[in-house]
Amino acid sequence: MKLLKKSLLSVLPTIFLLVVAMSCNENFEEPTVSLDGYKVEEGFNLEVVASEPFLEAPVQIDFDSQGRIWAVEMNGFMRQLDGVGENAPTGTIKILEDRDEDGATDHVKVFLDSLVMPRAISLVYGGVLYSEPPNLWFVEVDEDDKPVNRVLVDSLYALEGNPEYQPNGLHLNVDNWLYNAGSHFRYQRKNGEWIKEPTTYRGQWGVTHDNTGRLYYNNNSTQLLGDYILPNRLVRNEFLIPNKGVNQRLTSDQRVYPLHAARVNRGYVDGVLNSDSLLLEVTAACAPFIYRGGTFPEGYDENAFVCIPEINAIKRNILDFKGDRVEAHQAWEGKEFLASTDEGFRPVYLTTGPDGSMYVVDMHRGVIQHQAFLSPYLKKKAMEAQLDTIINSGRILRVSNQSQKNKTVPNLDEMGPNELVQLLTSSNGYLRDQAQHRLVYKKLTAAIPSLLELARNKEHPVSQIHALNTLNGLEQGLDSNMLIEVAENSTPEVVAHAVVILEKFIRNSDAEKVKNLFLNLFNRNDKGIDLYLASTIGIWANANSDAFSPILQELKTKYPLNQVIQEALVSGMGNLDDKNREELMLTEKDSLLAQNLVRNFKRKTADKKNPIYVRNGSGQDSRTKGAKLYRQICAACHQADGTGAEGLAPPLVDSEHVLPSEKLGLIILHGLKGPIEVNGTMYDMNHAMPGLNSNETLSDKDISALVSYVTNAFSKYPKGLSDKRVKELRDMAPKEGGGFTIQELDKTIKTIK
């Protein structure tokens, strides 16, 4: 696809009228979008499912029971290089339909509009869960696709901040909880009430799960992170902060293979680009996705795909499950699964559809680096290439196996209990997840006999996992005998879920049966099983020390240097009585377990809980806060783009006085007077810049945030300044007051280096 060479603002009214016309018309002329310049792996088809004018800047989608796509549009994001308009209520949630069933969108409905930077959606519990910072909302849908009965789920879901760092995801996992990236909370609805519960903080943008229910995520500079164990197994001890087992880098290989020299934010830094100006490693990785659709060729099931929007590509990784850990490696060297020379192609979300295909959400925005982090280098490059004019587009692409035959998409809301249970055996993980969810939230207890039968069927281990978690969500049908039976005869992945759920049935009358089960499982000599035994044995030992302490001893002896299993042991010992804990600390002495127990005991004594149990919401990142302060305080003189104003203020862009950060901090705090030379030009404004030191409304953290933003936005080598350092600089005012001269300032800087 060719790069747009003129602003699309001029055609915006036409686009709007076209959308209105199409939403009221039964006959549709579908837009045609060229995929020239796109290269997908051999054996796959790449098709456009939806595009402008139906869409603008989509960031996430979900499917309803009819197979329609619901899309969240973050229209306000980076429409201009200075980020103006970000807080305008222009965001929407749309319903995209393919009424002539040719595979492309031909009709659009606006479900919600006038939203400010909406960023996530999940069609759950018969309604729509969506985030509009700072709030998380749930709304029901009437028969005319209109929102009704809106409920505020969480007023602290996403506090103010850079959208690149705000919580997102709303990803439904096998355990019936909704998880998020950029957040340490998970959500669930029971009996009409929403539950918010602490969990491990994960990633930056996008979260996904494998068939077992382990979570995967990433950040801009690390393409794939993940957990070795099911959620919350390592954080049940409120004073334990696990170092292994969660938030693990699954591969050290961050290489990328672009088709062209795309513009990137820090392209001027040595080592970022090669001699051909091609990016070497990820700088904006997001939206990892574990493929579970069941229609891709052999070898693709549970592969990890990662969006690399800065080079207009999607990467493929192959996962290797090793029991007590997960590893990954890139599928190929020298190429990506999907790549394009179209610099508007910005993949930001991937998901499986009801047909088993992979759907790609293409934000299709020329500049996707938030203005708080946007470097002068990228600003210049974007303007030269007119990337800032690509602002009224948005696409959804479908990647499918060329040999895949068209599949009929079932309407799950029309299926009975036993039909939904049968769907738990589907090869398509999306359909399995949705069937399980409907069985749980609709409380279809008539399905319990079929679910019990499926849970015992060891020929279908993935279906067993769904059946167990469906029964657990229904809170009926399970008991210790049934779980013991399943655990004794199933794969390690199924055993993990049985062991986790078994904790709900702790009672002394079952101690002997459970002890025998654990001994049998221990004798299978499987690291994956032992990891879950380690995570639960402390719970059982606290209830019956005589029965389970010997097994605890066996586990800690078998894995003396395995940090994941040792942390799992400590996690399960959160409520271990003082006598048992002291005995372990004494007998183990210098062992890894003893070190972890001592560290945990000290934190408990000092009442220092894992932060996930203390913080109520997410915080604002410093550079976004600094950007807001800059606009409020500095932009009137120095201009929003840092170019300065004639006769009023010198430029900040590439100014030699922005760094070191201590120098900038002194200027902000104490002011500057007299002539100053910037980039060879002398500025003598005949007035002084006032300092902010006496402004009692600005804290040390505020000044730190301001420094962080200015050095990032207007210099090539951003450098922060700690609030502790700011406090020290407050006492370094010029002797005569009224602000530093540049000569005084340079002398002061020399004394503090």
pLDDT tens digits, one per residue of 592-629: 887 888 888 888 888 889 888 987 666 556 667 788 78
In a domain, 515, yes or no: yes
pLDDT tens for residues 261-314? Answer: 999 988 888 899 999 999 999 999 999 999 999 999 999 999 999 999 999 999
| Mean pLDDT computed over 36-62 | 96
pLDDT at site 696: 77
- C-alpha 153/C-alpha 197 separation (Å) is 12
- C-alpha 496/C-alpha 536 separation (Å) is 10
pLDDT at site 19: 43
Residue showing tokens 């006085």:
657
In a domain, 564, yes or no: yes
Six-digit token pair at 17?
Answer: 């009228």
End-to-end CA distance of the chain: 52
Query: Are residue 428 and residue 382 in the same domain, yes or no?
Result: no
Query: Are residue 161 and residue 26 in the same domain, yes or no?
Result: yes
pLDDT tens for residues 441-477? Answer: 999 999 999 999 999 999 999 999 999 999 999 999 9
In a domain, 4, yes or no: no
| Mean pLDDT computed over 621-641 | 74
| Mean pLDDT computed over 359-364 | 98
Q: List CB contacts of 13: < 8 A, sequence separation 6 or more.
A: none
Which pairing describes strands 248-249 and 58-63: parallel, antiparallel, or unpaired?
unpaired
Query: Are residue 566 and residue 631 in the same domain, yes or no?
Result: no
DSSP type of residue 736: T
Q: Picking from 147-151, 367-371, 374-378, 701-705, which range would have the lowest pLDDT averaged per residue?
A: 374-378
CA 269 to chain CA centroid, nearest Å: 26
Q: List CB contacts of 626: < 8 A, sequence separation 6 or more.
A: 372, 705, 706, 707, 708, 709, 710
pLDDT at site 329: 98
- What angle (nearest 5°) sits at the alpha carbon of residue 326, between those of residues 169 and 215? 15
> Quick one: residue 666, left, alpha or beta (phi over 0 = left, psi -120 to 50 = alpha)?
alpha
Sign of CA dihedral 524, 527, 528, 531: positive
pLDDT tens for residues 340-349? Answer: 999 999 999 9
CATH number of 438's domain = 1.25.10
pTM reported for the whole predicted model: 0.84
Q: Is the pLDDT of residue 26 over 80?
A: no
Phi and psi angles of residue 180, each rounded to the nearest 5 degrees, phi first: -135, 155
CATH number of 676's domain = 1.10.760.10
In a domain, 610, yes or no: no
Q: Is the pLDDT of residue 742 over 90?
A: no
Q: Is the pLDDT of residue 584 over 80?
A: no
Query: Are residue 336 and residue 188 in the same domain, yes or no?
Result: yes
Last residue of a domain, one of 348, 376, 401: 401
- Cβ contact 413:32 at 8 Å: no
Q: Is the pLDDT of residue 395 over 70?
A: yes
- Cβ contact 317:337 at 8 Å: no
Which of 488-497, 656-665, 700-709 is modeled with the greatest confidence?
Answer: 488-497
Q: Is the pLDDT of residue 24 over 60?
A: no
Query: Are residue 581 and residue 634 in the same domain, yes or no?
Result: no
Q: Is the pLDDT of residue 3 over 60?
A: no
pLDDT at site 559: 93
Give 642-646's long-range contacts (Cβ < 8 A, gap of 24+): 642/376, 642/710, 642/713, 642/714, 644/683
pLDDT at site 629: 83
- C-alpha 185/C-alpha 136 separation (Å) is 12
Q: What is the DSSP string of 686-725?
A: SSPBPPSTT-TTS-HHHHHHHHHHHHHHHSSS-----HHH
> Quick one: residue 670, left, alpha or beta (phi over 0 = left, psi -120 to 50 = alpha)?
alpha
Give 513-520's long-range contacts (Cβ < 8 A, gap of 24+): 513/480, 513/481, 513/484, 514/480, 514/484, 514/540, 514/547, 515/547, 515/548, 515/551, 517/484, 517/487, 517/488, 518/548, 518/551, 519/551, 520/488
pLDDT at site 753: 62
Q: 517 exposed, middle or buried (CB, 10 Å; 0-12, 13-18, 19+)?
A: buried
Last residue of a domain, one of 603, 636, 668: 603
Query: Are residue 703 and residue 651 in the same domain, yes or no?
Result: yes
Number of structural domains found in the chain = 3
Query: Are residue 57 and residue 193 in the same domain, yes or no?
Result: yes
Query: Are residue 633 and residue 576 in the same domain, yes or no?
Result: no
Six-digit token pair at 29?
Answer: 């002329």
Q: Which residues span the domain enclosing 664?
A: 622-752
pLDDT at site 85: 84
In a domain, 308, yes or no: yes
- C-alpha 226/C-alpha 218 separation (Å) is 8
Mean pLDDT, rounded, of the chain: 89
Whole-angstrom CA distances from 250 to 171, 217, 246, 282, 329 are 20, 10, 10, 15, 8
Sign of CA dihedral 230, 232, 236, 240: positive
Six-digit token pair at 198?
Answer: 């602490």
Query: Are residue 466 and residue 388 in the same domain, yes or no?
Result: no
CATH number of 199's domain = 2.120.10.30
Q: Is the pLDDT of residue 424 over 80?
A: yes
Query: What confidence tier does 577 reach under pLDDT thresholds 50, 70, 90?
Result: low
Last residue of a domain, one of 342, 373, 401: 401
Q: What is the DSSP string of 164-215?
A: GGS-EEEEEPTTS-EEEESEEEEEEEETTEEEEEEEEEE-SS--EE-SS--E
- Cβ contact 283:272 at 8 Å: yes
Query: Which strand (E) or helix (H) includes residue 340?
Result: strand 338-340
pLDDT at site 160: 64
Query: What confidence tier does 13 reach under pLDDT thresholds 50, 70, 90?
Result: very low
- C-alpha 285/C-alpha 328 separation (Å) is 16
Q: Is the pLDDT of residue 229 over 90?
A: yes
In a domain, 407, yes or no: no
Q: Picking from 347-361, 513-527, 662-676, which range would have the lowest pLDDT averaged per residue?
A: 662-676
| Mean pLDDT computed over 138-144 | 96
* Residues belonging to the chain: 753
Query: Are residue 552 and residue 696 in the same domain, yes or no?
Result: no
pLDDT tens for residues 82-101? Answer: 888 888 999 999 999 999 88
Six-digit token pair at 24?
Answer: 């009221």
Query: Are residue 686 and residue 567 in the same domain, yes or no?
Result: no
| Mean pLDDT computed over 698-721 | 85
In a domain, 640, yes or no: yes
Query: Are residue 641 and residue 585 in the same domain, yes or no?
Result: no
| Residue % of the chain over a pLDDT of 70 | 91
Q: List CB contacts of 33: < 8 A, sequence separation 6 or more.
A: 1, 48, 51, 395
Q: Which residue has the higher pLDDT, 30 or 575?
A: 30
Six-digit token pair at 34?
Answer: 């060229």
Residue showing tokens 């040719």:
102
In a domain, 614, yes or no: no
